[in-house]
Structure 1
Amino acid sequence: MQLSLEQAAGLCRMAALGAGAGDETAQALASAAVSAEAAGLPSVGLAHLLDYLDALEAGRIDGKAEPVVTRPALAVYLSDARRGVPHLGFERTLDDLAKAARLFGVAIFAQKNAYTCGRLGHFVARLAERGLAALAATNGPALLAGSGSTRPVYCTNPLAFAAPSADGAPLIIDQASSATAFVNIRKAAKQGEEIPDGWAVDADGQPTTDPAAAMKGALLAFGGPRGANIALMVEVLAAGLTGANWSLDAPAFATGSESPGTGLFVLAMEPKLLDPGFEQRLADQLGRLRAHYGVHIPGRAAVQATQRATSDGLNVPKTVVQRLSEFAGRYSA
């Protein structure tokens, strides 16, 4: 079904309200979902919003939670999401975080006790819009085997990085420590498709191409031990420094009534304090890599997709629109 961005945002907001979210939480979820869908990332867009709506209904997300943000140091913001969504505390802190980064050169947002983040790139992109470079890390329930292990000990533990560029297309890198995202395993299972070798092992620790078996076993890190070490690094940033649940201790994000209590770590940096011409230098370098060396530059495709979505709207599966409409109907009723 074809929806304009405004229609999609309104539907998502009403659906979140219908699932029990407060006004501000509903707006934050709708904005993140539509932004991901417009950027050409449907696996973390409107379809993924349904996971949040189910979690709201089941109590894994407290839709009325009020995050508590403290400032233990002038450039550090510490948020307790209080079983709510990760977006709300960040959005409330965003302007102050950016001001602190411009003043001190760097600033940190650290959050615990939240539901999972969805598209991690959303958080660093919000800072790149303000002319800042940013690095983010987050964790979740254990899905990924550690180095030398076949049992899940980490989540997919993504890292995201963004930097502003003078040509208007920020560099945005957003990738999991696992060989693939969990949503891709789940999608393959729903569609009855096999997954590639090297993505996962089954419950007995044996390599598998069966997504259903993979969901009972463990995902594998990209690059073997090196990727697993990155997952551990992310775990320390996202859970260790923030006081959030370690992945091993995080309740499931898709079942039960307990919040996974995950963490989010965001480092914001003011590049102009180091190099006033950073944005132009980055634009020139990325242009050289793209034009003369055939390098794919992450982030450009998302900007182009968003531009198309702004003019042409979104093409959303009818089943997703129907489910969102069902949740929205509960609010309007």
Structure 2
Amino acid sequence: MNAALSEPATVRLSLDEVYALTRDTLLAAGLGEPHAAAIARSITRAQADECHSHGLYRLLGYVASVRSGKAEREALPVLTRTTPVILNVDARHAFAPLAIETGVPALIEAAKTYGIAALAIHDCYHFSALWADIEPAVEAGLAAWCFTVGQCCVAPAGGTTPLMGTNPIAFGWPGPEGRPFIFDFATSAAARGEVELKRRAGEALPAGWAVGPDGTPTTDPAAALAGALLPFGGHKGSALALMVELIAGPLIGDLNSRQAKAVENGDSGPPLGGELFIAIDPAAFGRETLGQRMSDAEETFALAKAQPGVRLPSERRYAARARSAGGVLIPARLLQEIRALTTTGAEPGRNGGG
């Protein structure tokens, strides 16, 4: 029998093993322990929820940016307050997860105290899933939004040249039993990481996701990455992408996607930029009616789920999270690439942000 045919396509790892593999790989690459641990927590959460485009696959890009010297290895984030409800974290050209872990607890405290608060993360390399960034605030009983400018690879509706990032949007609403309503999606037809995974798997893209370098529609992931991704929903997704360009860029005094692209070094890791959080305490609008308002929200969710075929955005992740208690399946090829980073010093494979 051909030995290659007998090799497993996937390998099961426990979540503790995912965490340890991520942390140890980053430490071996030279990243400081606080950052390595924060990224390991982020990747493990994504892998547990079967968010493969932001799980262990992202480790390749993180290591590339550590090795290239693009991201600061040791610089710790600094939290400041412009006002009691306007918070800023200077990530100091380091990765975002530790900056987010620094700022979000302060955001929760401010929103609980004053009813509403905003947090800007500045000068960070963001590579994680936004749902994980806002989940602590939502679990604390807050309604929360999050925005970040992704890698510049998306053409505006009707165009063929990259002008915007994948520019994801996340929103969360408190839910019962620790299962809040949260959605997180790119304003492009698909996140760039999804296109990269299609390329790695040798799979074609659905029609409408991208155009090639010549501006014609393509289902070839490599041509799409060389050309431009398209916004979802035509002009509607395009307008939302432009909104994110503004509020996660100029509004908070950070880079837009074009400016981030201009300072990239081509290491295939995450782009430099900022992230905006907004959190509101529903109780701020009157505690005497809070219970009724929360009940109204639950009724809306229940009526939606009562319709055949309807699934709320969060439900698939929660089901995956429950399954992952017994471990997660990782592509064997990806696991080999990651392990090679610490045994041979091999350069990581191409990886995409957004």
Deviation of 1:63 (Å): 2.1
Structure 1, unaligned stretches of length 5 or more?
none
Q: 2:228 aligns with which of 215, 218, 233?
A: 218
Correspondence for 2:195 among 164, 185, 191: 185
- Structure 2 unaligned blocks of 5 or more: 1-10, 346-354
Q: How many residues align?
A: 330
Q: Is the 8 A contact 2:64 2:267 kept in 1?
A: no
Corresponding residue SS for 1:146: coil
From 253, 256, 277, give the equivalent of 1:266: 277
Contact 2:64 2:269 in 1 (8 A): no
1:21 corresponds, among 16, 24, 31, to 31
Bigger shift: 184-193 or 223-232? 184-193
Partner of 2:47: 37
For residue 125 of structure 2, what is the amino acid of its counterpart?
Answer: Y
Q: Do the aligned residues in 1 keep the contact of 2:154 with 2:231 (CA within 8 Å)?
A: yes
2:325 counterpart of 1:314: no
8 Å CA contact 2:62, 2:269 repeated in 1: no
Give the CA deviation at 1:258: 9.4
Residue identity (%): 35
The whole-number CA distance in structure 2 between the counterparts of 1:30 and 1:258 is 16
* Aligned equivalents of 1:224, 1:150: Cα separation in 2: 13
Match of 1:303 in 2: 318
TM-score of the superposed pair, with normalisation by structure 2:
0.87
Alpha-carbon distance, 1:262 to partner: 1.1
Q: Partner of 1:36: helix, strand, or coil?
A: helix
Contact 1:246–1:262 (8 Å) recurs in 2 = yes
Conserved 8 A contact 1:36-1:44: yes
Corresponding letter in the other structure for 1:313: G
**1:83 and 2:98 aligned:** no
**From 79, 98, 104, the counterpart of 2:114:** 104
1:48 alignment counterpart: 58
Q: Does 1:287 align with 2:298?
A: no
Report the CA distance shift for 1:195/1:294 in structure 2 as closer, same or farther (over 3 A). closer
- Conserved? CA contact 1:17–1:328, under 8 Å: no
The within-5 A match list for 1:144-293 is 144-251=154-261, 255-256=266-267, 260-274=271-285, 275-277=289-291, 278-292=293-307
Provide the residue aligned with 1:65 in structure 2. Answer: 75
Q: Secondary structure at the match of 1:82?
A: strand
Q: Deviations over 1:100-157 (max 9, x none)?
A: 0011111111122111232111111121122211101101331001234221011100
8 Å contact 1:240–1:246 — kept in the other structure? yes
2:104 is the alignment partner of 1:94: yes
Taking the aligned partners of 1:28 and 1:279, their CA distance within structure 2 comes to 33
